[in-house]
Chains A and B, each alone.
Chain A
């Protein structure tokens, strides 16, 4: 019932705006279609409050417009000199108060429901990084990162055609979060560097990701489908380029997905005793660099002048290995260089090796996973 009123309301607004500004009707004028209990409640609350506001608007500005039309000098209206009326003033203080209580009651129930993260079926930890999301399925032992999948050449410049043909422009990732339909998913949310915010509008879920702190929220998806959101808290340069995609599937597909992810994890797991060559590490490091470092330091290692330092020819990437390992592991406080402790020994060793032997850097050094393991202590 209320949802219907909501769409009526949106249609009225759409018609008004469409006729005023000549905008095509294809745009969306309301909240995204809700896909969870909470999102439904939010949608209905919003509709309820819009109707109340609409009624107040018509009433109050009806009086104002009437006065503007009738009580003007040009139609010969004489000013009366009243300037107080205690009864009226008390009435228009109390009536809004009562209306507010009517709004607060359903809102309170929703707030309490939103906070109830108990008894989840699945718990997923989401970690915000500059600028991607990392996910860990705590019981299943599945972990991966989700990067923006929209190619760079669609974003830069006047490449309108490529953009137009991509319906999910800026809203697509390489690895989506997969969850089963109708199960309560508890999201544990944190960040590695600055504050981010994990947001899926269709589920009515938004929770800031705060470095050093853990917060939680939950959702239960009503229907199978792909749901998209974006980081909602300014987190630096690529804040607009770290989307969130949740794929809701049937339970059996979910189980198959988990099994497949586990297999992948074992396949890429490396024997810790493996003896690496410089070329192997460099090749591996290039991938790690592309996934973690390229946003700031750039593919050519030149960084962005005055904002993100160049690695090519830098003192750290050509100087002593210890300082290089230290900055990658622990970051540099007061700058955008975050700690990368969360990467594996092999990943850190390979990316450092790559950085010390690429572009103008020709140190010939090799940093082994064992050295990283030692440096962590």
Chain B
């Protein structure tokens, strides 16, 4: 097998492609496009992170020191939009581009040119978002949820954000069509659906979610756009519209969106844990069913974001029960990961540290999710820092930790070099500690009654906010170490073997490291 590959990939240095900038602009290669997505995502992560640190700096102590309130609202809004649509989602698409063909034994993505186009739509969207700070009135300050009628009051920055969302939505839909087609049509002979690596499964389901809900978001923001400029009154009660309808449409997109950002993370963790436990994934088929159940349930829970709008008791009960149900398949996933670890032979390299950190801290976000599912408690905690703590536990400790874990796991395959293991571990521990210093105190300020999205707060919240700000700056600085580790790994380091990790399973470990420009031109056979 090894010998055959050595022969098969010998001609790789002669892969034909333009060099320099044009290589990246014109590329249709899934690996190049994956790399582009990941770097794009990292740069947006830095931009969104700087916005976060700017708003944490204002919240360091009570009073208004740095920004006036309107600008502060721009910071919270753009931090949310940039992190969700610029950092987290593109990072997972980057993973899908690199890994899905490698893991199913396909030579490339199904629609190579569309793949190029779906990436190159993103930079213009990012430019629209970032430059909206510099138009009259500044960026939109209506919160990342863009609730009408507040969003209809905003200046031209809101229009730029709407167009950016349209473009990013188109990009996501194209990416999803590509991923679904690749997975359904280009698997290596013998790789049945129920033999696919779990990462591929989670992305297949995520892609369907994206296709289902991105048009809904596009519709919602388009209605805001026409309310703003063309005299419609979809969300204006004075003209027969309904402001609450915006929330229903937004969260019909928004809740599946939450799972779009976490299901691929489940997939990454489900690859890492068996590799470092040296043991097959426990309950593979129940993992697939649990992921599908979460995806289906995500369409019938949206109004739990809106328990305070004053819906009838029957609706509150329905959405509470449906939301609580999600705990069942999510619990199954956590139990399966722990059962995979059970009686394994574990080692704790950086990817495994991030995977264990993910399971531990993401579960805490899951627990607070259960607290928030209980309608009466949610009514007390809605729009407080408790909610801010909850969704950062699932999006940072969930999605972001899985992304870090995935990068460390596959980086040797991508670059051909081992990264610096010690620095990787230091990065994990700094990230883990500062994450908790930043976000754990927010549970307390939220319980005690601190509303979110405020530039200033009452004195009893001062200590917790100071602690959060210190943690946030520590967290931000720790990510510079990540950049350093990745860059040094690209530039050099110990040569990585084909099968980087002792316990790793899957087709991606049968090709050389770094993975040649073209892989699986002749499909492998899976038994």
Contact = CB atoms under 8 A, between A and B. Distances in A.
A144 B151 CA distance: 28
A212 interface: yes
B243 A17 contact: no
A73 B346 contact: yes
A17 B468 CA distance: 13
Interface string B333-360: 0110011111111111000000010011
Contact of A72 (B346, B363, B454): B346
A72 B143 CA distance: 46
A5 B216 CA distance: 45
Max chain A Cβ within 10 angstroms of own Cβ: one of B328, B347, B348 = B328
A77 B345 contact: yes
A211 B237 contact: yes
Nearest to A193: B149
A326 to B, nearest CB: 15
Contacts of B320: 104, 107-108, 111
Contacts of A96: 327-328, 331
Contacts of A83: 279-284, 340
Contact of A79 (B344, B359, B447): B344
Contacts of A88: 339
Contacts of A156: 63-64
Given A49-B370, A93-B328, A157 B460 contact: no
B346 A71 contact: yes
B61 interface: yes
A79 B277 contact: yes
Contact of B451 (A31, A231, A336): A231
A107 B320 CA distance: 9
B446 to A, nearest CB: 10
A320 interface: no
Contacts of A112: 313
B243 A210 contact: yes
A57 B361 CA distance: 11
Main secondary structure of the interface of B (DSSP, over half): helix
Contacts of B242: 212-213
A232 B447 contact: no
Interface residues of B, number: 105
Given A50-B371, A213-B244, A32 B155 contact: no
A368 interface: no
Interface in A188-235: 189, 193-195, 197, 199, 201, 204, 206-208, 210-213, 215-217, 229-235
B464 A27 contact: yes
Contacts of B229: 334
A66 to B, nearest CB: 9
A61 to B, nearest CB: 7
A320 to B, nearest CB: 23
A206 B308 contact: yes
Contact of A67 (B149, B332, B346): B346
Contacts of A183: none
A298 to B, nearest CB: 11
B215 to A, nearest CB: 25
A240 B141 CA distance: 14
B453 A208 contact: no
Max chain B Cβ within 10 angstroms of own Cβ: one of A23, A89, A189 = A89
A232 B451 contact: yes
Interface stretch (B205-213, B377-385, B484-492, B509-517): B377-385
A110 B277 CA distance: 45
Contacts of B332: 89, 92-93
Interface stretch (B34-42, B65-73, B87-95, B166-174): B65-73
A147 B347 CA distance: 60
B310 A155 contact: no
Interface string B63-87: 1110011100100000000000000
B371 A197 contact: no
A108 B467 contact: no
Nearest to A97: B328
A272 interface: no
Max chain B Cβ within 10 angstroms of own Cβ: one of A81, A231, A237 = A237
25 contacts: A29-B447, A31-B380, A42-B376, A53-B370, A57-B363, A57-B364, A61-B360, A61-B363, A72-B347, A80-B343, A85-B282, A92-B331, A108-B317, A111-B316, A154-B63, A158-B65, A195-B149, A204-B376, A232-B384, A234-B142, A234-B383, A237-B68, A237-B70, A237-B141, A240-B455
Given A83-B280, A166-B459, A334-B227, 14 more contacts: A27-B444, A29-B448, A31-B380, A32-B448, A57-B364, A64-B356, A83-B282, A84-B282, A92-B331, A107-B320, A160-B61, A169-B62, A193-B149, A207-B308
Interface of A: 13, 17, 21, 23-24, 26-32, 38-39, 41-42, 45-46, 49-50, 53, 56-57, 60-61, 63-64, 67-68, 71-74, 77-85, 88-89, 92-93, 96-97, 100, 103-104, 107-108, 110-112, 114-115, 154-160, 163-164, 166-171, 189, 193-195, 197, 199, 201, 204, 206-208, 210-213, 215-217, 229-241, 304, 306-307, 333-336
Interface of B: 61-65, 68-70, 73, 136-138, 141-143, 147, 149-150, 152-153, 155, 227-229, 236-238, 242-244, 277-284, 286, 308-310, 312-313, 316-317, 320-321, 324-325, 327-328, 331-332, 334-335, 338-348, 356, 359-360, 363-364, 367, 370-371, 374-377, 379-380, 382-384, 437, 440-441, 444, 447-449, 451-460, 463-464, 467, 503
